Amino acid sequence: MKTARSEEELWAEEQFGCAPLGDARRTSRLVRMMAGAAKNPAGKLSEVYAARELDAAYDFVESESVAVSQLERVVGQATSRECAKQRIRVAVDGSSLSLTPRSIGMRKGFGPVGPIKAGWRGLKVINALAMDDDGVPLGVLAQSWWARPEAPRRTLKQSKRDRVRKKPREKETGRWLEVIERSAERLQACEALGWFQLDREADAWPLLRSLAASGHWFTVRSSWDRRLAGIGDRQYLRAHMATARPLGHYEVDVPERDGRQARSARMIIHAAEVTLLLREKKNGQKPRPMSVRVVWTHEDGTTPAGEKPLDWMLLTNAPIESLQAARDIVAGYTMRWRIEEFHRTWKTGTCDVESTQLRSRNAVIRWATILSVIAARVERIKRLGREHPDRPATDELSAVEIEVLIALKRRIKKRSEEIPDATPTISQAARWLADLGGYTGKSSGGPPGSITIRRGFERVRHGVEAVLALRQ
């Protein structure tokens, strides 16, 4: 009798069934590994795959037959197909995997990560997370991996001089450039308009120039009070924006977090077009001009005593034709935080990749790349419940998964709850999964997160396996 295929198996086949890995058996193995990790995400292979699949999974991640760059390209192209002919928000950010203490990490080809005194070794990575215009993740568009070398003992003056002499491609800046360029090429190939969202680390002349030349939009939070060209004598960005006429104001709800008081903040927004003088320290070259648009939004009159007001200076090439267009630029930048949520889910949350016990650098990268796809899928399901609450759950769950979810929810429902037979919305399904995973509502400190949703998925998955076995 033909075995019914799960939603995860169908998803993995659709995304990676045609992956060009040089051998149909490798492609088939990748599909099975993706499906298995989607069903049961975890950092250790032994926690994801059953005994009959485990040896083959180890063979795949440890074999040099699949190059790291080849797997990265397969993942990026699968994401780009989801982006076709849309406006795509692309959050780009760096992170690191803390994997082993120094004594072990040096033998495995890892480099220093985190505080020097901690002595941890691992890998550095830059990720580009593609999202739709509402901020719902679509997948990982590009990645770049490396291990930092052991730093030689140098004086601060020597280190600064060495950094200045190196070209951007020779420094870690080159990793950012790689990810931006690959992302731009993949979006161009699928006829999508990218809108890159980057934090203050990207306020550097090589990255700003690369973004401007990409053919896509960008928003970068300003880190430096840069000098402007053609406006008086040594005019600087902040002083100039303070003289710009405000476009208007708006209110934003600020949640309580990290010692910050909850409030409704009154935000003033300004916009202008300026020409920055980008200084290149290498070889003493003169600053080069670059025209950008600037949106400055800052809190006015609602900051509690002892707190800093909200203040964002955003550099962009997106059009600013109205107050609404300026607010769209600000709203797009707030979606950059989605990549930080993705990193938490990937590194220590649902996928827990930092718990891996793989022994080689390339094996860790292959396995982490597979889990990055799963982390993006977990974040997508979580975000769909918030951004598109009325979509049917069948968009992400199979019929048997919905059947089991309803049955399990009825077993734990409150007396006053009514669980209908009809297909739930994606928002209802996400909440029921979180309920199965231990979510307790307001006392949990916010809306359902990836961890409680993942726990609920595990209960549903076990139920689905039992149902399919009985039907067979």
Residue 293's contacts (CB-CB under 8 Å, 6 or more residues apart) are 271, 272, 273, 274, 315, 316, 317, 318, 319, 320
User: CATH class for domain 389-471?
Assistant: mainly alpha
3-state secondary structure of 440: coil
Return the DSSP state at 308.
P
What is the pLDDT at residue 442? 62
Which fold is adopted by the domain 207-335? Transposase Inhibitor Protein From Tn5; Chain A, domain 1 (3.90.350)
Q: Indicate if the alpha-carbon torsion angle 375, 378, 382, 385 is positive or negative.
A: positive
Tell me how far apart the alpha carbons of residues 132 and 6 are, in angstroms, rounded to a whole number.
Answer: 26
What is the pLDDT at residue 107? 55
Residue 262's contacts (CB-CB under 8 Å, 6 or more residues apart) are 253, 254, 255, 256
The token duo for 148 is 């930092």
Burial class (CB in 10 A: 0-12, 13-18, 19+), 360: middle
How many other C-beta atoms can be found within 10 angstroms of the C-beta atom of residue 193? 14
Tell me how far apart the alpha carbons of residues 352 and 169 are, in angstroms, rounded to a whole number.
Answer: 31
Give residue for tokens 């040594």.
234
Tell me how far apart the alpha carbons of residues 385 and 357 are, in angstroms, rounded to a whole number.
Answer: 34
Give the global pTM: 0.88
Is-contact 302 261, C-beta < 8 A?
Answer: no
Q: Which helix (H) or strand (E) holds 346?
A: helix 337-347
Domain ranges in the chain with CATH number 1.10.740.10: 389-471
The token duo for 367 is 């396995």
Domain ranges in the chain with CATH number 3.90.350.10: 207-335
Alpha helices in 166-218 (DSSP H): 173-189, 205-213
Tell me how far apart the alpha carbons of residues 34 and 373 are, in angstroms, rounded to a whole number.
Answer: 8
How far is residue 379 CA from its own chain's centroid?
A: 9
What are the Cα distances from residue 254, in Å, to 2, 266, 299? 53, 10, 11
How many other C-beta atoms can be found within 10 angstroms of the C-beta atom of residue 94? 18
What is the pLDDT at residue 198? 98
Phi, psi of 219, deg, nearest 5: -135, 125
3-state secondary structure of 237: helix
3-state secondary structure of 135: coil
Alpha helices in 22-64 (DSSP H): 24-39, 45-48, 51-62
pLDDT tens for the chain, residues 1 to 472: 345 677 889 999 999 999 999 999 999 999 999 999 998 899 999 999 999 999 999 999 999 999 999 999 999 999 999 999 999 999 999 999 998 875 454 556 788 898 877 788 899 999 999 999 999 999 999 999 999 987 665 555 555 566 566 888 889 999 999 999 999 999 999 999 999 999 999 999 999 999 999 999 999 999 999 999 976 668 899 999 999 999 999 999 988 887 789 999 999 999 999 999 998 766 566 788 999 999 999 999 999 999 999 999 999 999 998 999 999 999 999 999 999 999 999 999 999 999 998 988 999 999 999 999 999 999 998 888 788 888 898 888 888 889 999 999 999 888 888 888 889 998 889 889 889 988 887 665 677 877 888 788 888 888 888 888 888 7
Phi, psi of 67, deg, nearest 5: -65, 150
Q: What angle do CA 368, 78, 40 make, to 5 degrees?
A: 45
Nearest CA among 78, 10, 61, 76 for reference residue 38? 10
How many other C-beta atoms can be found within 10 angstroms of the C-beta atom of residue 226? 23
Burial class (CB in 10 A: 0-12, 13-18, 19+), 53: middle
Tell me how far apart the alpha carbons of residues 112 and 205 are, in angstroms, rounded to a whole number.
Answer: 27
Phi, psi of 292, deg, nearest 5: -140, 165
The token duo for 303 is 């900051």
Is-contact 272 293, C-beta < 8 A?
Answer: yes
